[in-house]
Amino acid sequence: MKQKNSVLFHVTEFGQRVSKSVMDLIGIISKPRLKVALISYHYQKPTISGVGIHVQNLAKYLTKHNCNVHVFCSGEEDAIYKEGNVIVHTIGRIHIPLEDEFSRKRLIYDIFESEIVKEITRENSRKRFDIIHTHGTLTKSAFIIKKVYGIKWVHTFHSIEKLRVKKLSDEEKHFADLISWIERTVNHCDGAIFVSKELMDECVKHYRMKSKIMIPNGIDLELFSYYPITKKNVLFVGRFSKEKGVGILPELITNVMSVKDATFTIVSPHREKLEGEGELSKIKKLIDKQKKLFEERLTVIERLNEQEFIGKLYRECQVYIQPSKYESFGLCILEAMATGRPVVAFKVGGIPEVIGNAGFAVKDKKELIYKVKELLNDKKQSIIVGRKASQRAKGFDWNVIAKKTIKYYEEVGK
């Protein structure tokens, strides 16, 4: 009799779960389908941009929840194609004969924004967009579209550019006034999403927000999952930029090499040609000299890579470092945590919110170097912290984040 009741209980429980799934599906289908335009200069794979990776995942998961998603991004040529259920509109890059890479980049961005207005206007004439959602520094096009067509505009702050630019090289600081001028358009957005509470608290000191919400970055848990530590390696992944802390790398490399059998891997693509006597060029020359000195113990990867390759590198390290001077969230930190790696990072921006009690947010260079060496010499501690980090990373599921984003779209659209 007990066995029969147990069977009936499990059948009933299974039926309830199926019913709930069916009702959820009916709820999704019965809602009006939102047409969303995601604007991000970086999107196509591979990308060195955390913003680009964020938009790739957001687009993918929005379509899973019945949104009609169009992504407007930079590409090699003008094109429209389908990637899964996402419709991608690429704006072809224009050759500009300027030797200064930083000046050329700013002009390319401005031309990109003008072309975005044209492309969204074409698509909007077919069926009106419900939401324009911008990511990154390029917001002028959304402001124009909002004013002309009255479409609701949501902007995700991945950083505050007027503050971030202060952490860049002298060459990039030349454009600080232009960058700040463009960013002021966010005062006119209908809703603002912040990837960390710290970023939101800081932003309200500088800009007027009609509506705001904190929705963190997400993690693809299918791609980044726990893996045992097998190699005594330190890993850094990030743009070759002063804000990412590349200035500390030469000294850190020397200290890691003092640990028996330790190796160091740097993945740091750069958009500009690093020549002459600029700040970044000098740092690169120092690392190049160290590469010759330490040979196979130091690996430097400057090319763009797919996320699958980066995932392999997380699995091959024992400690992940993020010595950023400015970081609103830290997507690479979350990816390393999901893989089961202890993270050592500077206590800046949203980093402490991401790491929580499952890693180390340190106050200065001396403490960072000490903690990295300590973990390299204590594999047991690395494993314990890494397991805790992997569990914490599960709280950043993209399914949950996509649902929160859609709910916010609906609130802003009222």
Number of domains in the chain: 2
**62 & 151 share domain:** yes
**406 & 391 share domain:** no
Contacts (Cβ under 8 Å, ≥6 apart) of 267? 235, 236, 237, 238, 301, 305, 310, 313
Alpha helices (runs of H) in 97-139, residue ranges in sequence order: 101-126
Residue with tokens 């970081």: 327
**175 & 257 share domain:** no
Residue 2 lies in a domain: no
Rounded mean pLDDT of 271-298?
A: 85
Residue 328 lies in a domain: yes
Residue 6 lies in a domain: no
Q: Whole-angstrom Cα distance, residue 398 to residue 216? A: 10
**Residue-level pLDDT at 161:** 80
More confident position, 2 or 32: 32
Q: Note the pLDDT tens digit of each residue in 376-385.
A: 999 999 999 9
**Residue-level pLDDT at 96:** 86
In CATH, what number is assigned to the domain containing residue 87?
3.40.50.2000
Residue 20 lies in a domain: no
pTM of the entire structure? 0.82
| Range name among 12-21, 252-261, 284-293 with the lowest pLDDT average | 12-21
Q: Strands 212-214 and 233-237: what pairing?
A: unpaired
With beta carbons less than 8 A apart as the criterion, state whether 156 and 134 touch: yes
Q: Note the pLDDT tens digit of each residue in 198-221.
A: 999 999 999 998 999 999 999 988
**49 & 156 share domain:** yes
Residue with tokens 């209908």: 190
**191 & 89 share domain:** yes
Residue 186 lies in a domain: yes
Task: Transcribe 380-410 into DSSP letters.
Answer: HHHHHHHHHHHHHHGGGBHHHHHHHHHHHHH
Q: Whole-angstrom Cα distance, residue 231 to residue 348? A: 28
**211 & 123 share domain:** yes
**40 & 175 share domain:** yes
Q: State the CB neighbour count (10 A cutoff) for residue 319.
A: 28
More confident position, 8 or 198: 198
Residue 228 lies in a domain: no
Rounded mean pLDDT of 46-58?
A: 91
Residue 11 lies in a domain: no
**189 & 53 share domain:** yes
| Range name among 175-179, 301-305, 328-332 with the lowest pLDDT average | 175-179
**Residue-level pLDDT at 170:** 78
Q: Whole-angstrom Cα distance, residue 184 to residue 148? A: 18
Tell me the residue range of the domain where 287 lies: 233-396
Q: Note the pLDDT tens digit of each residue in 310-356.
A: 999 999 999 999 999 988 899 999 999 999 999 999 999 999 999 99
Q: For all residues of the chain together, what is the average pLDDT?
A: 90
**237 & 170 share domain:** no
**323 & 405 share domain:** no
Among 39, 400, 406, residue whose Cα is nearest residue 220 = 400
**240 & 331 share domain:** yes
pLDDT at 166 over 90: no
**265 & 378 share domain:** yes
**Residue-level pLDDT at 88:** 98
Residue 1 lies in a domain: no
Rounded mean pLDDT of 115-119?
A: 96
**Residue-level pLDDT at 354:** 95
